[in-house]
């Protein structure tokens, strides 16, 4: 969910003052806005280029210099104040570099070495600090760290400066206590991954379902930013599946069922979504994203997300309710009434819809009374 805002070559930069300046082969600074449970943060990354960089790959493809979706990354994140400690020795246990043997699959390596840890509501850097851990790129465990890794090579190190972003009227962000954080990110090694366009439709679909499930877990834990990030990642991958779904619709239901049956006999990543399932999941992701945006006090964004959900699935009661809520929050009362009335068509006598319509009627009555008083004063 990182939002890149600019990329500049800048030899004199706030990072040089706050994080220090060493003698490096080359330095470039990239800036973007990232998310964590505590809100939006501006990230300024100073990449330190090193010679003799290597990447771990079993494919022999020398173009795979950086981690990609699904790559297991051996990484260490430390606060800048703690980076003067002595480097680990080569004999340290558990610090072996990752490698994928020809007879091993990425899934087997994931099961063996991936580091599992929860997201924390009071943390900006969502990773254990100081030691080497293994992240699977693309899961959104730590948006800031993953965004750094996407452009790094094995053996490379970068410094990052984190600053809280002032929020506007449509974004609710808790104000952090600290003004700046400075840290280092080191990438020791990584396994091969894939760009989204290199994946089969089945592989993309597995990622979509994983993001949807992860978003639900984060929402239930109170991590609204993390949940919104997961739902957004799922929606981005669904865009790449639109062509596949259009082909399914052209082939017809009979051939689609045959393909599903054939795929079920092979690898699970070949289980493809039907056109109906695709639209249903896409509508649910938009609706869930709208709920997160309402919780984060982003009514305009929630309105857009909920509207997309109702277009995809006009029978989705939750999406209509969230659309009504969002319209009500931005004072679009007529649109809100239409949404709640549609909800009543789907669920007659729905208490939430009836109450919302009653509240809107009261607000309109109060507004009309105030307008009448102002007009009477003007012509009295």
Amino acid 104: pLDDT: 39
Measured distance between the N- and C-terminal CA atoms of the chain, rounded to whole angstroms: 57
The domain spanning residue 331 has which CATH number? 1.25.40.10
Same domain for 17 and 106? yes
Same domain for 215 and 252? yes
| Residue 284 neighbours by CB under 8 Å, 6+ apart | 212, 309, 313, 316
Q: Quick one: CA dihedral 133, 137, 142, 145, positive or negative? A: positive
Same domain for 222 and 260? yes
Residue at which a domain ends, from 147, 168, 194: 194
Structurally, the chain folds into a number of domains equal to 2
| Residue 65 neighbours by CB under 8 Å, 6+ apart | 53, 55, 153
The residue to which tokens 């494919």 are assigned: 59
Same domain for 27 and 143? yes
Laid out side by side, the sheet with 39-48 consists of 3-8, 27-36, 39-48, 157-164, 181-190, 72-79, 132-136
Residue 163 forms part of a structural domain: yes
Same domain for 156 and 230? no
Same domain for 165 and 223? no
Same domain for 208 and 61? no
Same domain for 112 and 34? yes
Entry pTM: 0.78
Same domain for 122 and 264? no
Amino acid 26: pLDDT: 53
Residue 225 forms part of a structural domain: yes
Amino acid 314: pLDDT: 96
Amino acid 123: pLDDT: 83
The residue to which tokens 């070495």 are assigned: 113
Residue 285 forms part of a structural domain: yes
Same domain for 227 and 97? no
Residue 377 forms part of a structural domain: no
Amino acid 116: pLDDT: 82
Beta strands, E only, the chain: 3-8, 27-36, 39-48, 72-79, 132-136, 157-164, 181-190
DSSP codes, 67-133:
--BT-EEEEEEEEGGGTTSPPPPTT-TT-PPP---TT--HHHHHHHH-------TT-SS-S-SSSEE
Residue at which a domain ends, from 150, 169, 194: 194
Same domain for 123 and 216? no
Task: Give the CA-trace dihedral at 190, 84, 33, 114, to 10 degrees.
Answer: 30
Residue at which a domain ends, from 176, 194, 212: 194
Same domain for 24 and 57? yes
DSSP state of 268: G
Residue 341 forms part of a structural domain: yes
Residue 213 forms part of a structural domain: yes
Residue 379 forms part of a structural domain: no
Residue-wise pLDDT tens for the chain (380 aa)?
Answer: 443 333 333 434 455 555 655 444 556 788 988 877 777 889 999 987 654 444 444 444 434 689 999 999 999 999 987 655 544 443 344 444 444 333 334 444 444 468 888 888 778 888 899 999 999 999 998 889 999 999 899 999 999 999 988 765 555 445 544 568 899 999 999 999 998 888 988 999 999 999 999 999 999 999 999 999 999 999 999 988 888 778 777 776 555 555 555 555 554 445 778 888 999 999 999 999 999 999 999 999 999 999 999 999 999 999 999 999 999 999 999 999 999 999 999 999 999 999 999 999 999 988 888 777 777 777 76
Please say whether the beta carbons of 241 and 205 come within 8 A. Answer: yes
Residue 122 forms part of a structural domain: yes
Domain interval for residue 307:
201-371
Amino acid 20: pLDDT: 58
């Amino acid at each position: 969910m990182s939002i890149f805002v600019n990329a500049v070559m800048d030899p004199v930069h706030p990072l040089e003052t706050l994080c220090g300046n060493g003698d490096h082969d080359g330095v470039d600074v990239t800036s973007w806005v990232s998310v964590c449970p505590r809100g939006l943060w501006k990230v300024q990354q100073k990449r330190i280029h090193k010679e003799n960089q290597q990447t771990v790959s079993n494919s022999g493809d020398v173009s795979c210099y950086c981690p990609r979706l699904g790559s297991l990354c051996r990484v260490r994140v430390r606060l800048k104040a703690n980076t003067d400690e002595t480097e680990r020795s080569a004999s340290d246990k558990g610090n072996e570099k990752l490698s994928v043997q020809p007879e091993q699959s990425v899934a087997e390596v994931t099961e063996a070495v991936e580091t599992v840890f929860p997201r924390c509501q009071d943390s900006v850097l969502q990773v254990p600090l100081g030691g080497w851990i293994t992240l699977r790129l693309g899961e959104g465990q730590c948006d800031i760290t993953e965004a750094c890794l996407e452009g790094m090579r094995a053996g490379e190190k970068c410094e990052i400066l984190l600053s809280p972003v002032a929020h506007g009227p449509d974004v609710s962000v808790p104000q952090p206590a600290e003004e700046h954080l400075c840290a280092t990110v080191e990438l020791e090694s990584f396994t091969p991954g894939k760009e989204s366009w290199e994946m089969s439709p089945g592989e993309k679909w597995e990622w979509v379902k994983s993001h949807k499930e992860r978003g639900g877990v984060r929402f239930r834990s109170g991590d609204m930013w993390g949940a919104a990030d997961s739902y957004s990642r799922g929606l981005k991958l669904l865009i790449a599946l639109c062509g596949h779904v259009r082909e399914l619709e052209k082939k017809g239901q009979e051939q689609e069922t045959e393909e599903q049956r054939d795929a079920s006999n092979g690898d699970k990543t070949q289980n493809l979504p039907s056109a109906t399932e695709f639209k249903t999941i896409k509508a649910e992701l938009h609706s869930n994203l709208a709920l997160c945006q309402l919780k984060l006090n982003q009514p305009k964004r929630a309105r857009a997300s909920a509207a997309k959900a109702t277009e995809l699935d006009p029978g989705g009661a939750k999406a209509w309710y969230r659309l009504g809520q969002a319209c009500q929050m931005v004072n679009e009362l007529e649109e809100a009434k239409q949404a709640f009335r549609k909800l009543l068509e789907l669920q007659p006598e729905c208490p939430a819809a009836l109450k919302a319509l009653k509240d809107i009627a009261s607000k309109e009555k109060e507004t009309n009374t105030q307008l009448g008083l102002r007009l009477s004063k003007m012509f009295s």
